[in-house]
Every structure is written in C-alpha cells, then in structure tokens.
Amino acid sequence: MSSGASQSHSVTDSQPNATPGAKKPYNAPKVTVLKPDQAEAELKAKGLPGDPGVQKLLDLMAKPGKGTIEHRPTLLVELRLPVPGKSDPPELKIVGEYLNPEHLPILQKYLQISEGAMRESG
C-alpha cells in the first residue's frame, strides 16, 4: 500500500458550484402559436424535402374545411338532489354546445324531467 492519499472523483467534482443532490431548475416548455400562413412557411423552410408527413400537412392546410374538428351537438345535464335530512336545495346545471332548433324538444324533455324530480325532492 502506498502512503499517498487516495483520490476519488464524483459527478459533482466537475461542477465546482453544484451542491450534492441539487436539481436543475424547471424550465417550462415554450409554445409559439402560429397563423396558418406562418405554419406553412415554417414547414416549407424546415421540413425535409419529400417527407410525406410534411406534404400531408401542407395539403390539409391548402384545403379549408378538411382536417378540421367537427362540432357535434353536446348537451350536459347535471341534476343534484338534496341528501335526505339536509336542507340543501336541488340544483340543475345544463350546458349545451352547437345546438340547433332540432335539439330544442330534447332540451325541453330534460327540463320537464328535471323539474319533476326537483319538485318531488323538495
């Protein structure tokens, strides 16, 4: 055995100001919202020539209405009835999106059923 001191190296030895077990600060991802013409220019500038994915995106962007999200009619009905023995009033929550006149009879039926349940509970 030699009389010299043994040397050991750790990951923190190469980082003089780092404290053991310290974590790097969190950097939130950055998002840039682009307008369609900006996105198209980005794809053309940075996309790989001949990449089928890039070409498909460019084709979708060139055809308005294609690849867009379809807006389906949605009706959410939430009826909260009081718990027996408590004095909480009944509550009705209705949220509708993309409804048209054809949906009004369905909405009226939900209102009638909810009204009856609320009257019976109160």
Contact in structure between 73 and 94 (CB atoms under 8 Å): no
pLDDT tens-digit series, residues 9-63: 444 444 555 566 778 887 877 877 777 778 888 878 887 777 888 788 777 777 7
Max distance between CA atoms of the chain, in angstroms, equals 95
| Rounded Cα–Cα distance for residues 81 and 114 (Å) | 10
pLDDT tens-digit series, residues 80-120: 888 888 888 899 999 888 888 998 899 999 999 999 988 88
What pLDDT, on the 0 to 100 scale, is given for residue 112?
A: 92
What pLDDT, on the 0 to 100 scale, is given for residue 2?
A: 45
| Residue 14, CB-side half-sphere exposure with 13 Å CA sphere | 3
